[in-house]
């Protein structure tokens, strides 16, 4: 019985309570990524994502991929706040 009540309570919490917190993280600092970094620091995540996707790296492709992931994180959270649907979030996540 306790497990059932705990399961229901967890579903209620996820649906109706704010469960996120502000996070900060470091950005890759390659010269090619600086325009995208500036957009990220201004919280212009769609533009930061596009800038990181479009950049041609001379080296450190992993830094570009890291920056793409960093830009997607707040976009995924925003989609969940907007839609309340993990299915919608997963559509964006699978890109």
Q: What tens digit of pLDDT does each residue of 49-79 get?
A: 999 999 999 998 999 999 999 999 899 888 8
Question: How far apart, in whole angstroms, are the C-alpha atoms of residue 76 and residue 72?
Answer: 6
pLDDT bucket at 37, cuts 50 / 70 / 90: very high
The one-character DSSP state at 26 is: -
- Amino acid 92: pLDDT: 82
Residue 26 has pLDDT above 80, yes or no: no
φ, ψ for residue 11, nearest 5 deg: -65, -40
Domain ranges of the chain: 21-93
User: Average pLDDT in the 17-44 region?
Assistant: 82
Query: What is the DSSP track for 9-23?
Result: HHHHHHHHS------
């Amino acid at each position: 019985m306790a497990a059932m009540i705990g399961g229901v309570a967890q579903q209620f919490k996820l649906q109706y309570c704010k469960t996120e917190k502000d996070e900060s993280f470091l950005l890759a600092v390659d010269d090619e990524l600086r325009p995208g970094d500036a957009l990220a620091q201004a919280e212009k995540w769609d533009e930061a994502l596009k800038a990181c996707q479009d950049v041609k790296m001379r080296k450190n492709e992993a830094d570009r991929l890291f920056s793409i992931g960093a830009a997607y994180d707040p976009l995924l959270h925003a989609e969940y706040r907007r839609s309340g649907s993990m299915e919608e979030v997963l559509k964006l996540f699978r890109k």
